[in-house]
Amino acid sequence: MDSPKVQQVVNFPQPKNIKELQSSLGFSKFYCCFIKNNSKEISSLTSFLKKDSPCIFNEEAFSQFQILKEAFTTSPMISHLNPSLPTIVETDTSYYALGAVLSQVDDSGKHPIAFDSCKLL
């Protein structure tokens, strides 16, 4: 992700209503391939989007939002797929989310190519 986008994320204010939360989560989902375990990172925030759910940001939600912002600025750099290199698919599960990373190995080590994740119902 380019530097102006990262700065935009760093400057995201804490959402005060559902519309602002939807905007932040939409941005996160658009760039989810850059963030390891994105669905896990936003799981408690997406619960506020359920119908009839009160949009009351408690300490956990505030903390989760800060973690999400940090993930944008500290996630590992992804590489382009090189068909001639060995490719590794790794998966991870928990009670509420699934995650996967596609990596490749070269002389300097293992490099992520793409991340994906989804929240379980």
pLDDT in tens, the chain (121 residues): 556 767 777 788 888 888 888 888 887 777 776 676 777 777 778 877 777 776 667 777 788 888 888 877 776 777 889 999 999 999 999 888 888 999 999 998 898 898 888 888 7
What is the domain extent for residue 14? 3-119
Q: Are the CB atoms for 41 and 71 separated by under 8 Å? A: yes
Considering only CA atoms, which of 37, 42, 39 is closest in space to residue 12?
A: 42
Considering only CA atoms, which of 84, 82, 102, 83 is closest in space to residue 92?
A: 102
The count of structural domains within the chain is 1
CA distance 23 to 42: 13
pTM: 0.59
CA distance 10 to 22: 17
